[in-house]
Structures are given as structure tokens and as C-alpha cells.
A and B are shown apart, each in its own frame.
Chain A
């Protein structure tokens, strides 16, 4: 097979046994790569029955067929397992070098089973896997652990690690990749921690990925590069990072403020990418093969460190009423070193502030108190004091305390885009396979006027709910491919261009329609994984907290979720309880999930 390594490496940490198996052509064509192939494998292994923090859970890490090629921004790796935060399908997409290096080493994916008796890290090479002692790095922060492993394996390696939060099974622990990127969502770091797996290092001998039709492929790559270079949003991310969106977000009412209860944040400019560019920014930083380079390197106290992006500036900034950029840079660095997802951590801490103010439960933390936030983050990572309950996320907090305002969908905390500003986010969040998730569908772009003509996806009124369930489902089907190919969600690629790239790389004949059907297949497969976990229509909902009107840019709008849900189910061919029909599953080649 072209552009695939053709091999998957499996290691069992309980007995240290490893094996290599071939990637079947039929599986590659039907599920493409990334989280698509991971979903196929984990479903077949019945991982939906596993306790997420037990040795029965399986961590699957996959690159995609474009990883390691000249196609821009395609070194994206997918970490997939049953989520300890949500108890259903978990996945997190991450950049850095990992996906490309894994391909160069000769692997399409890693399957990690069992659990080690004591801390280990994995060294992945073209020859296979070595299980290495990690007792010396266990307990260290992510940055120090990266440096320690690098000393042992050399600089020419991609290194992924967990921090104390992952070790202590914080439900939203993340995985840090190559010092600067994070597989943040759904608690994949806790899955590694439960396996006593501190890190994964990948090295290779030569960069060699062969595509099926090199000349046509390079032509398409050139066209895509030109498209990226002319794109306003890509250029904005290059100059300002994702946080260049902060002021615009506030203007539209998209920026969550004071735990989703306020519509105007007059200090937005104080925490924005524009402010960072004129104060702390030293240079850009990017993932392997990226033309955008949205990462920020900032200088603080004489140190060059990675700066916060939009989601973090909002979740710890506007959401907690912290308007001091220097404090937010420090908080971001601390959260990354401890290894927590900054979205879930930010929302969870903001919830503690909200409950404290409301008088429901006194967590001893007030709005805007940056120093207290730093202390709470450490308590979360080490599960100490109030950190014990906060480490479980908002859903568990609400259940234990008896409050109804936890800002999550199916256990995953709501990210920093508000459905009251862009109505189709309601359907996109409520029915997403991993809970409240803003990627890769990015419905806010559609609500701002972007359209996908091939699939009739467009919005003419950001506040209307009519037709929004339909376009959210369609957009999810298309963008599902970003996590399979694998490609950064920021790339402004048209379906025909994506189909061409995939065809010229793999030799499989993709067009826009086949691409769409493939995305729909993978989306429904993950839904069926969730159905096996007990998820159905009753879980496809939004918290009432974010269905209350606000002043400001959202102009009092409240999306009609029930209308969107009905449209969404109809578009998907799901029954009224949110279960994919047998007919739909068969039409997508998924009859095997009914066995």
C-alpha cells in the first residue's frame, strides 16, 4: 500500500510481549487512518466494556496516510481509548513530530494493552519496541520528563509524556508531545498513567514515505500551500496565534465569560494574541511540516517558554475573570507541566468559583484570583485537598455537591465557543462523539459565512436554529476525515482537494462523495461504540446554564436544541432515541457492529 507503512505495532505492558501485524488494505480504504482505524480496532476488541482506568483499556495511537508526506500540516497523531472522563469514546488529536516520526519508523500505529507493574516508557524504533525503566522520571513534570528521556534516546526523537496529573489519574490529564503540543481532551493522559506508562519516544533511520502518484500529489500539495498562504485566518494564526481571535470572539458573544454567565468582557484586549504579540512574543513555533506555525514562544523572567493559545486564554482568562496576560502565561506553563487539559481544568476551576460565589460550596477561590488558581492546579494534579474532587471534572463535582450547573456534555467540559453566538454549535456539541467538542467541525466558521458547496453546508443567519441540525451533521461527516487523514483542522481545504490528495497518496480512488461516506461511516462507528457504553438520545443535551440569554454579542439568542436534534437525527438516519438504524449501518458497511 502506498503512503502507509503497512504495519501496526502492538505491545502488552502486563507481560512485555509485543507483536507486529499488517494493516489490511480493506481496513485502510474504509477507515483511512488516525482515529478511524483506531475506532475499528477498539470496537473489534470490545474496549467499550473496559473500565477506562484498568488494564483492560487499550490505548491506540495512529498517524494517517498523509503523515510524513509533503502535504502541509499532516503530522497529526490520534490518541484513542475509552475515556476515563466521559466513560465512552475518547480521542485526542495532537501535532508536533510524533505522527511523521512514527511513519518514518515504519509504523501506522501503536496499540498499547495491559499495565506495567512499575513506571516505564516505550522506545519505538524501526526494529520494534523496547520497554524502558521510567522510575527516574516518574513524579517529574512534563518538561523535565521530556528532557530526561531525550538524554537517553537522543535529540532526533519525538517524545510524548504525561505529568503528575496523568500519574495521579486526574480524569482530564493530557499528554504532552515534543515539549509544546498537547493531546488535551478526554483524559488520555490518565489512561497512560493507569498503565504506568510515563512516555513514548519514537526514533527513525530515514524519512521515506512513498506516494502512489508523486507528480499529481505534488501539484495538489502546491495548490494547497498557495491556498493556505492566501487565507486570512491562516495568516492571522501565523501572526497572532489562535488567540488573535479573542477580541472578535468577544464581539460576536462567542467568548465564554464568568463561567458562561456574562456576555461582555471589556478586558478582552488585555488577554489577546494582539497584546501578546506586542509584549511577550519572541517567535512562532509550528508542528512538523506546518506552514501556519500558530504556536507562540514567549519570554517570561528571562526564560523562553511556550505561550497560551485561544482556548487556554479564554478558559483561564475570561471564564475566570483573570485579565492579566503574564499570569495567564504562567498558568498555561504550569498546567502544561503538570499535564492537565487546559479546557477542562479551566472550566472546572471556574465552576468552583461559581459555586463559591453562589454559596453552594466554598472552594475558597474567587473570580480573578490568579495566584489561587496556580495553587488549585497543583492540588488537582496531586489530588490534594479540594483538588481531589476537582480532579474528577464538573460532572462528578455537580453530582457530589448537588448542583445542576455543570458545564459539560456527556462529561466533557464545554470549550471556549458559545452556542448562543453561533446556533449550530448546539447540535455540534450535544451530539458529538466525544462530548462538548469544538474540533474539527468548527461550526463557528460556517456561522461566520464559510460554506462547503459540495455538501450544501452554509448558514445565512448565525442565530437561527432552522437547518442547523442538518448542517452540523454534514460538517461532522466531512471534518471527521481530518482526524483520519490526519490533517490540522485549521487547513482551509476543499473536499475535492482532500479527495485528490488522498487518492494520489494512497492509490485508492476517492472523490468528494466517497470522502463524505467514509466520514459518515467512521462517525457512526464511534456512535455505536458510545451506544455500547450506554449512551443514547437522553445524553444528547446541553446544560441549561448555556441556554440562558445574555447581553452582548450573542444579543440574547438561545439556540433551539430540540429542533436541531430532530433535524440532526433525521439527517443521520438515527431513530428518535439517537440510535443509528440497522439500514443506515448496513448502507455504510457497518453491519458487523450489529454482531
Chain B
């Protein structure tokens, strides 16, 4: 079982996104890459970073990031480790997570709000990936 935010986990997530037709339709006009940030808390010592390039309903590329200053993504979505676990468990919706301040977003907000459904489907793709936290 791949570890959360490992290279193997990210690759399996990219596969799951690319196999999801509903996501492909909801995000068919989306253009924008993401830096995802897992912030440390009681259960995590150091931050973790992942880069995913999303384009026209597909994930073109994804990899673990060691130095976030080397990545210039259009969007950055970050939250504490415990909240990421809740997100993947379906206890928090990505937009609800932003509204309730469990996650923060940098980037063009108009784009993200317009693709609220695609964001939800993107998170649902993680359910296709067995995850070890």
C-alpha cells in the first residue's frame, strides 16, 4: 500500500484521475497546475509537497516535490495533515474545507469556484488509491 504523498501514491492518483470520465467532463476546460502542501501537526513532523499538472480533464504529470521554492504552480492548496486525512476520508469537501478555513488556497479564485464539482471529483479519485498514512 503506497504511503500518502509518496511518488508511488502520486502516480496511482494520476492514473485514477485519468480513468475518471466524470472528472474529465467536469474539468474539460480546466488549465492549471497545483502544488499541494501537507502541513505538519501532531502526527507529522515535516511538511510534504506534491505537484500535479491538471489540463483539460486529465492529469498530465505528478511528482513529489522536495523544495517548493523550485515549483511555480498556478495554484497552491494547503492544510494540516489531520485535515488531509479527513478530506480523503470524505469527511471534508474541498470547497467546504476552504470555507471553514481548514485549507487555504492561493491562485485564481474565480477558476476554482467555477470548478467546484471538478474539485470534489478530484478528491473522490483518491478513494481509488489505497493509502497508508
Q: Give A residues with C-beta under 8 Å from B.
A: 230-233, 235-236, 239-240, 244-245, 247-248, 251, 269, 272-275, 277-278, 445, 448-450
Contacts and interface: CB of A to CB of B under 8 A. Distances in A.
Nearest to B115: A247
B100 interface: yes
Nearest to A276: B110
B114 interface: yes
Given A233-B99, A274-B111, 17 more contacts: A230-B101, A232-B101, A239-B110, A240-B110, A245-B113, A247-B117, A248-B95, A248-B113, A251-B116, A272-B114, A273-B110, A274-B114, A275-B114, A448-B93, A449-B96, A450-B99, A450-B100
Interface in B82-102: 92-93, 95-102
Contacts of B93: 448
Contacts of A235: 109
A136 B96 CA distance: 51
Contact of B113 (A231, A240, A445, A450): A240
A273 B111 CA distance: 11
B71 interface: no
Interface of B: 92-93, 95-102, 104-105, 109-111, 113-117, 120
Given A236-B109, A239-B109, A449-B96, A231 B116 contact: no
B110 to A, nearest CB: 4
B116 A247 contact: yes
Nearest to B91: A460
Contacts of A269: 114
Majority DSSP secondary structure for residues of A touching B: helix
Given A445-B99, A450-B99, A232 B116 contact: no
Contacts of A251: 95, 116-117, 120
A82 to B, nearest CB: 37
8 contacts: A231-B101, A232-B101, A239-B109, A251-B117, A272-B113, A274-B114, A449-B102, A450-B100
Contacts of B111: 274
A323 B50 CA distance: 38
A232 B104 CA distance: 7
Residue among B97, B113, B120 with the highest chain A CB neighbour number at 10 A: B113
A273 to B, nearest CB: 7
Contacts of B101: 230-232
Majority secondary structure of chain B interface residues (helix, strand, loop or mixed)? helix
A544 B19 CA distance: 42
Nearest to A448: B96
Contacts of B109: 235-236, 239-240, 244
Given A232-B104, A232-B105, A251-B120, A273 B99 contact: no
Contact of A274 (B92, B97, B105, B110): B110
Looking at A232, A269, A272, which has the most chain B CB atoms within 10 Å of its CB?
A232
A240 B109 CA distance: 8
Contacts of B104: 232
A244 B99 contact: no
Contacts of A245: 113
A236 B100 contact: no
Contacts of B95: 248, 251
Contacts of A240: 109-110, 113
Contacts of B102: 449
- Top 9 nearest A-B pairs by Cβ distance? A449-B100, A274-B114, A274-B110, A248-B116, A448-B96, A232-B98, A247-B116, A251-B116, A277-B110
A449 B96 CA distance: 7
A239 B112 CA distance: 12
A448 B100 contact: yes
A308 B108 CA distance: 21
A93 to B, nearest CB: 22
A448 B99 contact: yes
Contacts of A232: 98-99, 101, 104-105
Contacts of A236: 109, 113
A126 to B, nearest CB: 43
B99 A274 contact: no
A142 B112 CA distance: 36
Contacts of A231: 101
B31 to A, nearest CB: 14
A513 to B, nearest CB: 25
A449 B95 CA distance: 11
A74 B17 CA distance: 46
Nearest to B117: A251
A272 B105 CA distance: 20
A244 B102 CA distance: 19
A154 to B, nearest CB: 39
A244 B96 CA distance: 14
A274 B108 CA distance: 10
A240 B110 CA distance: 7
Nearest to A447: B96
A82 B10 CA distance: 61
Nearest to B110: A274
Contacts of A233: 99
Contact of A273 (B92, B98, B113, B115): B113
Task: Determine which residue in B95, B100, B116 has the highest number of CB atoms from chain A within 10 A of its CB, and name it.
Answer: B116
A244 B98 contact: no
